[in-house]
Structure 1
Amino acid sequence: MLNIVSILIGLFALLFAMVGIIPFPLVPLLNWIAFPIALVGAVIGMLSSSNTGRNLNFVILAISGFRLFLTGGLI
């Protein structure tokens, strides 16, 4: 059950992360929203016996974290 919750949280964070990749003004700030959501999903995924939700959230963390790293955390 926790794996399903983690996957749903990951899909919700993925929406923010994919829109946040677009380089229009202020849109990449959505990565600041996607990162903590994916972090919560990864923690819930760690409590599960399956790895799918945890891995999905780790990928989203990598995507949004890399985007924030490239821009210095700003835009």
Structure 2
Amino acid sequence: MLNLVSIVIGFVTLALGLIAFVPLLGWMNWLVIPIGIVGAAIGAMSSSNGGRNMNLVLIVIFALRLMLGGGII
């Protein structure tokens, strides 16, 4: 059950993160990354690894986007 909750949080993170890829909306990554961290933490408590891994990949992708944009853009 926790894995399913983690996957749902991951999809919410993905949807918000795709919006943050639009130029001048990179600041949204500061909001998206903590949501992914919560999803990864919930996924770590489950017996399956799918939700945790999905959230970790999303965190890395959006952190790279944040670094490429200089932290703001």
CA RMSD of aligned residues (A): 0.9
Q: How many residues align?
A: 73
TM-score (norm 2): 0.93
List, as ranges, runs of 4+ consecutive aligned residues in structure 1 with deviation greater than 3 Å.
none
User: Do the aligned residues in 2 keep the contact of 1:7 with 1:53 (CA within 8 Å)?
Assistant: yes
User: Do the aligned residues in 1 keep the contact of 2:7 with 2:51 (CA within 8 Å)?
Assistant: yes
What displacement does 1:49 show?
0.5
1:52 to 50, 53, 58: 50
What displacement does 1:30 show?
1.4
1:36 to 34, 37, 47: 34
Q: Secondary structure of the residue that 1:12 maps to in structure 2?
A: helix
User: Do the aligned residues in 1 keep the contact of 2:26 with 2:69 (CA within 8 Å)?
Assistant: no
- In 1: Cα distance, 2:52 partner to 2:45 partner: 9
Q: Which runs of 5+ in 2 are unaligned?
A: none
What displacement does 1:11 show?
0.5
TM-score (norm 1): 0.91
Aligned to 1:63: 61
Same amino acid, percent of matched pairs:
48
Q: Which runs of 5+ in 1 are unaligned?
A: none
What displacement does 1:19 show?
1.1
What displacement does 1:72 show?
1.9
